[in-house]
Amino acid sequence: MDGDAASSATQVDRRDVLLALESSCDETAVAVVDRDRNVLANVVASQDELHRRWGGVVPEVASRAHVERVLPCLDDALKQSGKSLDDVAAVGVVTQPGLVGSLLVGLTAAKTIAWLLDVPLVAVNHIEAHLFACRWAADRDPFPAVGLVVSGGHTNLYDCRTTLDFELLGTTTDDAAGEAFDKAAAVLGLPYPGGPSLQKAALQGNPKAVRFPRTFLNNERLEFSFSGMKTSLLYAAQGQPGSQTPVPPLTPERVADLAASFQEAVVDVLVGKCEQALKATGRMALCVGGGVAANARLRERLEEMTARRKVALWISPREFCTDNAAMAAIAWDLLEAGRVSPLDVDVLPGLVRKR
């Protein structure tokens, strides 16, 4: 082998890691993952401080922040992993679903890197990536299984035959569970982000203090609805329009009781629908991912249900529950299956709905 050929072979051999990017909402994230799916670096830049004043994500603010943060995150990920761009075998990037401006920032960066390095570009589905993250809890491929993705933007149930073969069983007809937690926290005057604040307040409350509705809980449809729960909480906290009945003040004790009761109602529905899906599919494993999967009460109740049914439970590790780029390592599986994307691939921001 001559010198040029040897040099070329060495360069190809060095390309042993995946560079993954995630920017679907308000987290700018870059990860480096090797072929064995070991996470060498997982850098996440949160935007919580930017959106706190509005109590929710402002799309224009989010996309501008991604522009400012994507390259520093890339530099940090490479430094932490001990790798360089010369080691990158492929670039994975989340292209759906999410906020269009945010998605475009990550995709533009990924396209540029893939083009410069002349390596494959792999488009990743954000929701499927959340379930892929369960492999780090199972320490192996956890499928086939029922999959629940529960986050601020999604509450979806899947029949997961393989890593790359998901069938949507049902989704929310209105709000996602995470969005319901955020809005409930706002009603109760709890700080942003709402989900963690509501969980913290609930620790001091009585989950049986107020009986909130459990929409669809006893319905065979594998669907969710949380808008009725939010309305009930609003009336419990502030009173029903036109009612002459005085409403108790929102003391810290009452806030804790309302938070605990609301959390319990949401968890009841999530756990109940997972059990329904397990019965309907006959699967013997349940995978759970997404930001709300970090909720301690949800984890506790899922553990109780799956132990009773003698079903395996794989919940994404907490560091991979909220949006991150490591979960985009599903791109390795896509690459091995030949599912490579062209450089003119576009984003698909719309939410997933059952067909």
What is the CATH T-level fold of the domain 140-318, as seen in this structure? Nucleotidyltransferase; domain 5 (3.30.420)
Q: Check if 14-132+324-336 and 140-318 are the same fold.
A: yes
Q: Please state the residue numbers annotated as binding site for substrate.
A: 149-153, 182, 195, 295
- pLDDT for residue 18: 98
What does the alpha-carbon distance between residue 319 and residue 315 come to, in Å, rounded to a whole number?
A: 11
- Distance between CA atoms of 101 and 24, rounded to whole angstroms? 9
Q: Show binding-site residues.
A: 126, 130, 149-153, 182, 195, 295, 323
pLDDT in 10s for each residue of the chain, 355 residues: 444 443 333 344 579 999 999 999 989 999 999 999 999 999 999 888 888 888 888 889 989 999 999 999 999 999 999 999 999 999 999 999 999 999 999 999 999 999 999 999 999 999 999 999 999 999 999 999 999 999 988 999 999 999 999 999 999 999 999 999 999 999 999 998 899 999 999 999 999 999 999 999 988 899 999 999 999 999 999 988 877 788 889 999 999 999 999 999 999 999 999 999 999 999 999 999 999 999 999 999 999 999 999 999 999 999 999 999 999 999 999 999 999 999 999 999 875 433 2
Nearest to 41 by CA among 33, 29, 53: 33
pLDDT the model gives residue 13? 53
Residue 75: strand pairing partners: none
Superfamily of domain covering 14-132+324-336: ATPase, nucleotide binding domain (3.30.420.40)
Q: Could you state, in order of their start, the residue ranges of all structural domains in the chain?
A: 14-132+324-336, 140-318
Binding residue numbers for Fe cation: 126, 130, 323
DSSP helix/strand/coil, 182: helix
Q: Closest Cα to residue 329, out of 86, 77, 70? A: 77
What is the spatial distance between Cα 312 and Cα 306, in angstroms, rounded to a whole number?
A: 7
Q: How far is CA 14 from the centre of its chain?
A: 32
Give CA separation, 204 vs 192, 247, 254, 290, in Å: 19, 21, 10, 25
Per-residue model confidence (pLDDT) at position 351: 53
| Contact present, 347 and 111 (Cβ < 8 Å) | no
Residue 272, pLDDT score:
97
pLDDT at 98: 92
> Could you give the 3-state DSSP secondary structure of residue 342?
coil
